[in-house]
Amino acid sequence: MNKTQMGFLETGSEMGQLISSTDWSDSSLGSISEWPHSLINTLNICLNSRFPMLIQWGKDFVTFYNDASLKILGAKHPESLGLPSKYVWPEIWHDLGPTLESVYEEGQAVYSEDKFFLYKRYDYLEEGYFTLSHSPIYKGENKVGGVLCTITETTDHVVTERQLKTLHELGEQSMLAKNVQGVCDRIMDVLKENDKDFPFSLLCLVDEDHKRTRCVESVRLPENSPSNPSHIDLLGETSDPEWPIQEVLRSNQAILLKDIKSRFGELSGGAWNQPPNWAYLLPVVCPGSDKACGCLIVGLNPHYPFDDKYRNFLEFAVEEVASAILNARNYEEEKKRAQMLASIDRTKNDFINSISHEFRTPLMLIRNPLEDILSRGKESDKDKNIKIAYRNSLRLQNLVDALLDFSRIEENRIQPNYQLTDLSVYTSELASNFVSVIKQAGIDFEIERTEVSEPVYIDREMWEKIIYNLILNAFKFTFKGYIRVEVQEEEHAVKVLIKDSGVGIPESEQQKIFERFYRVAGTKARSDEGSGIGLPLAKELVEYHKGRIEVESKVGLGSTFTVVIPKGMTHLPENHIQRSEEKSGTADVNMFVEEMKQLVDPEGKHIEEAETAYAEGKPHILVVDDNRDMLNYMCRLLSESFNVSTAYNGRKALEFIELHHPDLILTDIVMPEVDGYELLHHLKTDPETAHIPVVAVSAQAGEKEKIKGFEAGFDSYLVKPFSGRELVALVSSIMATKKTRSEAESFLHELFLNSPTAIAVLHGSDHIFTMANPMFRRILRTPKEDLRGRSIRNTLSDANKEIVVDLLDDVYKHGVPFVGDEFPLTISRSGKKRKAYFNFVAQPIKREKEQVTDIMVQAYEITEQVQARKEIDRFFAISLDILCISDGRRIKKISPSVEKVLGFSQEEMLEQPLQEFIHPEDVELTMQHIEELRKDYPISYFENRFLTKDGSYKWIGWMTSKAKDEGLDYAVGRDITTKKEQEQKKNEFINMASHELKTPMTSLKAFTQLLQRQLKSGGDDKVQHLLSRMNSQIDNLSELIEDLLSVTRLESGKLELNKKEFDICKLVDEVVEDLQATLKAPGKKHQIIVKGVKEKKVYADRYRIKQVLSNFLTNAIKYSPEADKVIVEITEEENSLTVAVQDFGMGIPKKNHNKVFEKFYRIHELERPDDDFSSLGLGLYISAEIIRRHSGRIWAESEEGEGSTFYFSIPDKRQ
């Protein structure tokens, strides 16, 4: 290779020079002149490029590089030139080698972006990112001579992106900050994510007292190790290795801590295998503050130089952390402040509320007595009124004073005036004011005077109030035993003890009693009034002396209040100390004494004027109030119109009520022991007293209190102060209402008790009986028990419990009534379990808004009815005959047997019109029968053809009856088709036979008559007589045949009427004439007499009516052989005509009057089996059928031995 070819090495590049100055002759490549063209060419490009490039030549990948690559090679230059690549980059050869090999072998270029290498540029392994292109360098055909590598380092870019992401996420936390702990959690979560820049981290916050730091969160540090302590003391010294946080906080500067390995051992490297040996400690300085509030400790990336970039990044991060913490703190404080403001507000409201109540009672007791004096001026009451007003003005003043004291204390306006005082002497003096009043109450009052060596500085006015209030307090809670005041001296202080043997204070309440308006609930006390202000005031006043007040107490044994006042004056502000002894206190001791007097046993003289003599007829009222004045005042107001009794607290009221039942109770709400609500509860839960109206009289005037009162069950709520007239009017109106109500109530109660329906009222979700009438108790089989107060659950047998309780629960929950129809319950009756049925309603009663409070249950036992119906149902089910109930037109109920008989199912028949099932030819007949039922015939039988499912008809014989009041027809139908068919055949036969008989009869009759006529002339009387008998027998015979025919026609329904209008009188004459002719024969003597109407048109079948007439007349003659006349009478009525045929024969026994019209009935058949009477017994039956088909009536009247009259009557007009 000549020099010119190598000219590119001489262009002034550092690497060109180095290559040309290097002696390559011992290398694997040989001297430069021997290098292949492809290498030379590539080198030429490479060395001239400003872009970092490497050439790795040959299978050892001998390394060449250009000037631009020097930065990437770092300390590897210049030794790397000409070295095989695996010696240049041993630390990454495991990664780089295979890439080079594959390019070399396969001749394919490889490209990788931002490829990560832990790469030793200098003396340590460095985190580096590179975008690389490895391309083959061909020497000759298809032969790769080496690899050309083009490199861009992207480390900065990758790291910056990562760090920006972390900063961004930290920034987000500060927006979400709600509380400090929460925000720290989240900050550290972000740091944990970035395990490359923060191999480990620890966040410490300085406590509020600045005495130590709390390590709030750590990432990848072992728990409870020196590297991750729970806190770090800022004041003390420890020998344990520690993070130098104090230093950071003090200097407000970040510290780079090297060699942490020797301090804490190996710590976590996060993403790195190598533990960090450096840590950076950054102060967390909240914006707007110049003092660090904490410290962030970060383990440093061991593979990255700790340069300005890394440091800046950490500083940015800690700024984000600080601002997130600050935001959280601000948020927390804001919230706390808001809560505090709300709480202050509430306290103030409570205070104003309470104090106003306190004012009301005395104010009213001043105002009302004064009003009384002004308006009525009853002399005898005047003194009392003035006394009450005076007493209450003192009380009011006491309250106002206390209030003022508080307000001054609160605003710091109090000007104490400390004077040197012998506490023992002064305290005794103050206490002695109470000796007489306390002794009056029967309590020992001891004042123990002890010599005190040294006077102390006190404000005497304050001291008075302290002592008075403590004694008053002791008095309120002490009912027997003693109250003792002691003074004791200690080295630095004087102690005053006020001991009592009163009710004591539970431990849980002992601190609260010094809170304003706190009252120990439910304790026995003389009065609740005014308390709640004395002790807190005393406490505040003691604190002005830099002393303290304490209480020791055991419930039931008593309490000791101790006031400790320090000796000397150094603890007091100089300017308030008065050295000379000037004035004593000004507090009005009378006020306290008066108040105590009020508290003294009220059953004594204070009630003297209250109760009046009991007067008959006046309503009785009980007044309950713990304020004596109030009690007296109300008593006096009411005693004119009512009998008044008093009780000075709830317990006394209950004792009273056990003995008497007043008509009305007026009660205060706030009272010691048993308060108004408790009293009310007792009254309303006892059924004996639940009806007594109770009126609350209270100083609690707010809307809320009133509502609470009404909700609790007070009948009315009177707010103090009230005027006298208001009270009297209210009580009078309640009494009036009560009177009417009690009358109505007792009436209702009576109804309830005697109701035949079982009624019960169940209260609450447990369904407790509040009422159950005797009928209800009978159902439950507990007639004697008072169920009230018991749950229905416990009164039911197991068999019924679940189902009944479930449904009651449902009614209670949803407020929807439950209606049980024929509800089955198992009930034991005379020892046996039986099913009983009830109709009942469970009706929810809503007393308050939408909530069900009670359920009224009404039940009616219907077991018998259900039983009866079931019996009928069973008959219906098993009957082979068709049982059918209809309303005359439609089928209402039908037995399943119908399906067997007719093929129709029950459903197909129900509610269908009857007519549709009846053969058209039988409809009229059927309707006639139904019509007859309507006319009082109890039972009727008829037969008709009924449609079957296949369209044919079946004969059904019906027995029917009618329930007139229900409008229902009951019918039992039997399939008589077979019988009918047989009958039909028989009838056809008879029909045929009789017809066949008639033909010879016709000739026979004609011949007989002809013979008779011919012989007439011959004059043989004997033969003549025989022929006449023969003729008459032929007539009999044809009559019999005709009867038979008629019957068969009737029964096969073939008797058709041929109705026309004709004169019935003429018909009668005709029949009589015909008959009379036959009676001319010897031995026949009957005369037929026709009476009555002479002309009467009727619309009927002439032939059939004639048949009836003949029958009647023939019978009349036949059955009166001894008589000589028969009378026919025709009478006319409105719309009808009656024909009567009277004979004077033997008559018919009464019992047979109706039987004569039955088929085959024969009169006297046994008595007179005479030929003369022989007949088929069909005549009257046929007559009856004919008349019936004319919608007429047929009947007989008869007296045995005197004769009979047969009647028929038919309508005279076409219908």
Partner 1 sequence: MKEKKILVVDDNEDILLATSLILESAGYSVETSQKLDPVKKITPSTAPQLILLDMFLNGGNGTEITRKLKSQDSTCQIPIILVSGHGNVEKSAEQCGADAFLYKPFGMDQLLAVVERLIVN
Among 390, 875, 1007, 1160, binds partner 1 (CB under 8 A): 1007
DSSP state, 300? P
CB of 1082 to partner 1, least distance (A): 20
Q: Which helix (H) or strand (E) holds 601?
A: none
Quote the CA–CA distance of 944 and 1137 in Å, as a whole number.
30
CB-based burial, 592-613: b 16+ in 10 Å, e otherwise? bbbbbbbbbebeeebbeebebe
Alpha helix ranges (H) inside 113-235:
155-176, 180-193
Task: Examine residue 1056 and tell whether it contacts partner 1 (CB under 8 A).
Answer: yes
Task: Examine residue 1016 and tell whether it contacts partner 1 (CB under 8 A).
Answer: no
Select the span of 112-120, 631-639, 785-793, 1038-1046 touching partner 1 (CB under 8 A).
1038-1046
CB of 1187 to partner 1, least distance (A): 18
CB of 1012 to partner 1, least distance (A): 9
Residue number with CB closer to partner 1 (691 or 1005): 1005
Edge-first strand order for the sheet with 558-566 is 444-448, 482-489, 493-500, 558-566, 548-554
Residue number with CB closer to partner 1 (920 or 1000): 1000
Alpha helix ranges (H) inside 133-233:
155-176, 180-193
Among 342, 816, 819, 1006, binds partner 1 (CB under 8 A): 1006
User: Which tokens hold the place of 143?
Assistant: 């032969």
Q: Is 736 exposed, middle or buried (0-12, 13-18, 19+ CB in 10 A)?
A: exposed
Classify residue 595 as left (phi > 0), alpha (psi -120 to 50) or beta. Answer: alpha
Q: Does residue 47 contact residue 11 with C-beta atoms inside 8 Å? A: yes
Give the CA dihedral 349, 414, 430, 351, nearest 10 degrees.
Answer: 0
Select the span of 37-45, 662-670, 971-979, 1000-1008 touching partner 1 (CB under 8 A).
1000-1008
CB of 958 to partner 1, least distance (A): 26
Task: Examine residue 1009 and tell whether it contacts partner 1 (CB under 8 A).
Answer: yes
CB of 1056 to partner 1, least distance (A): 6
Quote the CA–CA distance of 404 and 379 in Å, as a whole number.
37
Task: Examine residue 1052 and tell whether it contacts partner 1 (CB under 8 A).
Answer: no
Quote the CA–CA distance of 72 and 50 in Å, as a whole number.
13
CB of 1074 to partner 1, least distance (A): 9
Task: Examine residue 1038 and tell whether it contacts partner 1 (CB under 8 A).
Answer: yes
Task: Examine residue 1017 and tell whether it contacts partner 1 (CB under 8 A).
Answer: no
Residue number with CB closer to partner 1 (54 or 1034): 1034
Quote the CA–CA distance of 483 and 475 in Å, as a whole number.
8
Nearest to 89 by CA among 102, 73, 105: 73
Among 1004, 1015, 1090, 1176, binds partner 1 (CB under 8 A): 1004
Measured in Å, how far apart are the chain's first and last C-alpha atoms?
Answer: 154
Residue number with CB closer to partner 1 (636 or 1102): 1102
Among 236, 556, 938, 1000, binds partner 1 (CB under 8 A): 1000
Task: Examine residue 1049 and tell whether it contacts partner 1 (CB under 8 A).
Answer: yes
Beta bridge partners, 734, equal: none
Task: Examine residue 593 and tell whether it contacts partner 1 (CB under 8 A).
Answer: no
Residue number with CB closer to partner 1 (493 or 1040): 1040
CB of 953 to partner 1, least distance (A): 22
Q: Does residue 633 contact residue 676 with C-beta atoms inside 8 Å? A: no
Task: Examine residue 586 and tell whether it contacts partner 1 (CB under 8 A).
Answer: no
**Cis amide bond preceding 78, omega within 30:** yes
Residue number with CB closer to partner 1 (716 or 1009): 1009
Task: Examine residue 1045 and tell whether it contacts partner 1 (CB under 8 A).
Answer: yes
Query: Phi then psi for 212, rounded to 5 degrees?
Result: -160, 170
Quote the CA–CA distance of 263 and 252 in Å, as a whole number.
23
Rg value, the chain, Cα: 65
Q: Does residue 1086 contact residue 1200 with C-beta atoms inside 8 Å? A: no
Task: Examine residue 989 and tell whether it contacts partner 1 (CB under 8 A).
Answer: no
CB of 1177 to partner 1, least distance (A): 19
Among 214, 606, 618, 998, binds partner 1 (CB under 8 A): 998
Residue number with CB closer to partner 1 (741 or 1016): 1016
CB of 1009 to partner 1, least distance (A): 4
HEC assignment per residue over 1108-1139: HHHHHHHHHHHCCCCCCEEEEEEEEECCEEEE
Task: Examine residue 1029 and tell whether it contacts partner 1 (CB under 8 A).
Answer: no
Q: Does residue 667 contact residue 694 with C-beta atoms inside 8 Å? A: yes
CB of 943 to partner 1, least distance (A): 20
Among 124, 614, 989, 1103, binds partner 1 (CB under 8 A): 1103
Strand 1097-1101 to 1059-1063 pairing: antiparallel
Among 999, 1133, 1166, 1171, binds partner 1 (CB under 8 A): 999
Residue number with CB closer to partner 1 (508 or 999): 999
Quote the CA–CA distance of 504 and 557 in Å, as a whole number.
6
3-state secondary structure of 453: coil
Task: Examine residue 1003 and tell whether it contacts partner 1 (CB under 8 A).
Answer: yes
Task: Examine residue 1034 and tell whether it contacts partner 1 (CB under 8 A).
Answer: yes
Quote the CA–CA distance of 539 and 546 in Å, as a whole number.
11
Task: Examine residue 1015 and tell whether it contacts partner 1 (CB under 8 A).
Answer: no
Quote the CA–CA distance of 439 and 132 in Å, as a whole number.
109
DSSP state, 507? G
Select the span of 64-72, 675-683, 840-848, 999-1007 touching partner 1 (CB under 8 A).
999-1007
Q: Does residue 664 contact residue 622 with C-beta atoms inside 8 Å? A: yes
Quote the CA–CA distance of 776 and 755 in Å, as a whole number.
10
Q: What would the x/- binding string for partner 1 be over residues 1062 to 1101, using CB under 8 A?
A: ----------------------------------------
Among 95, 1042, 1069, 1197, binds partner 1 (CB under 8 A): 1042
User: Which tokens hold the place of 693?
Assistant: 């109206």
Q: Does residue 166 contact residue 189 with C-beta atoms inside 8 Å? A: no
Task: Examine residue 995 and tell whether it contacts partner 1 (CB under 8 A).
Answer: yes
CB of 1186 to partner 1, least distance (A): 13
Among 1, 736, 1010, 1026, binds partner 1 (CB under 8 A): 1010
Quote the CA–CA distance of 585 and 1189 in Å, as a whole number.
129
Number of chain residues interacting with partner 1 (CB under 8 A)? 25
Instruction: Tell me how crowded residue 775 is: count the other CB atoms within 10 A of its CB.
Output: 21
Select the span of 277-285, 384-392, 716-724, 1055-1063 touching partner 1 (CB under 8 A).
1055-1063
Task: Examine residue 1001 and tell whether it contacts partner 1 (CB under 8 A).
Answer: yes
DSSP state, 916? G
Quote the CA–CA distance of 388 and 69 in Å, as a whole number.
111
CB of 1008 to partner 1, least distance (A): 9
Q: Is 410 exposed, middle or buried (0-12, 13-18, 19+ CB in 10 A)?
A: exposed
Task: Examine residue 1054 and tell whether it contacts partner 1 (CB under 8 A).
Answer: yes
Residue number with CB closer to partner 1 (529 or 1043): 1043
CB of 890 to partner 1, least distance (A): 35
- Binding residues for partner 1 restricted to 518-547, rule: CB under 8 A: none
Q: What would the x/- binding string for partner 1 be over residues 1172 to 1211, using CB under 8 A?
A: ----------------------------------------
Residue number with CB closer to partner 1 (381 or 1042): 1042
CB of 1014 to partner 1, least distance (A): 8
User: Which tokens hold the place of 1207?
Assistant: 């009647």
Quote the CA–CA distance of 973 and 957 in Å, as a whole number.
5
Q: Which positions lie near partner 1, rule CB under 8 A?
A: 995, 998-1007, 1009-1010, 1013, 1034, 1038, 1042, 1045-1046, 1049, 1054-1056, 1058, 1103
